[in-house]
Amino acid sequence: MRLAFISDIHGNANALEAVLEDIEERNIDKVYVLGDICYRGPEPKRSLDIVKSLNTEVIKGNADEWLIRGVRKGEVPEQALNMMNLERDWALTLLDETDINYLKGLPTKMSLEFDGQKIVAFHATPNSLFDVVVPSEEDSIIQESLIIDESADVFIYAHIHKPYIRYIKGKCVINTGSVGMPFDGLAKSSYAIVNIQNGNIHTTIVRVTFDIEQVVSKFQESDYPNKDLMINILKNGELPK
C-alpha cells in the first residue's frame, strides 16, 4: 500500500496540482491531507475545491482554524497580528459558508492501519494545532510531544514547513513539509510517501517543482494585502531573515 501525505497548501493551487500530478505518476494508492488548505495564498477557493475533490480523509490545521475564527493575540508575533487578520479577511471574501462549515467540521487527528502497521497523523502535535516541534529537537522532546500512542509505528505531522524523517526508539517520525510554502530554503513543494508491503515500511520525502512565477503573477494581479512578503517567501523557499 503506497500512501501519500500532503499538507500546508496555503492557497497555492498551482503547487497542489503539481504535487497531485507527481503523486499520480508514482501510482499512489491513497492521498491524505494534514491541514492548512486555504489561508495565505492567492487561490483559497480553488485549493479547497481541489482538496474536496480528492474524496479522502482531511484533518484541520492551525491556518484552517484561523479562517474559522480569526488570528488571536499570542498566536503570532504582535507586529504580525493585524496584517494576518487582514489576510484572513481577504481569503474569506473568496470562500462561502459551505467552505467555512467544511473547515469547521474537520477532525484534528487520523489513525490508519495497513498490513499490521499503525499510522497516527496530526497537524502540529496530537494535542495542539499550534505547537511547534522542529527537526533539531532532542529525541526526548519529540517523544514527549509527538509519540503519544505506543501501539503506533509511524507518526506523521506538518505545520513547520520543513520536511524530515527520524527514527526514535523503533518509531518513525515524519514531517511532510509544505506543498505551497516551503521554509527550508528549497523552493519546491514537499510531501511524504509511506510504502507498506508485507509488514515492511519504506518512507520517502518528495520534492516537486511548480511554476513559482505563475503563482507570483496571481499574487501581483490580486489585491492581496501582504503580497510582497508572500512573494518573497515563495521565491526563496524560506521566511525572511
* Rama region for 177: left / alpha / beta (φ>0; ψ in -120 to 50; rest): left
What would the pLDDT profile of 46-74 be if each residue is shown by its tens digit?
999 999 999 999 999 999 999 999 999 99
Q: What is the DSSP string of 188-219?
A: SEEEEEEEEETTEEEEEEEEE---HHHHHHHH
% of the chain beyond a pLDDT of 70: 100
pTM for the whole thing? 0.97
Given a cut of 90, whether residue 199 has pLDDT beyond it is: no
When pLDDT is averaged across residues 82-101 and rounded to a whole number, the result is 98
Within 26-147, where are the H helices? 44-53, 62-69, 81-92, 97-104, 139-146
CA dihedral 212, 215, 219, 225 (to 10 degrees): -80
pLDDT-derived band at 241, boundaries 50, 70, 90: confident
When pLDDT is averaged across residues 210-228 and rounded to a whole number, the result is 97
Given a cut of 90, whether residue 81 has pLDDT beyond it is: yes
Number of H helices, E strands in the chain: 8, 9
% of the chain beyond a pLDDT of 90: 98
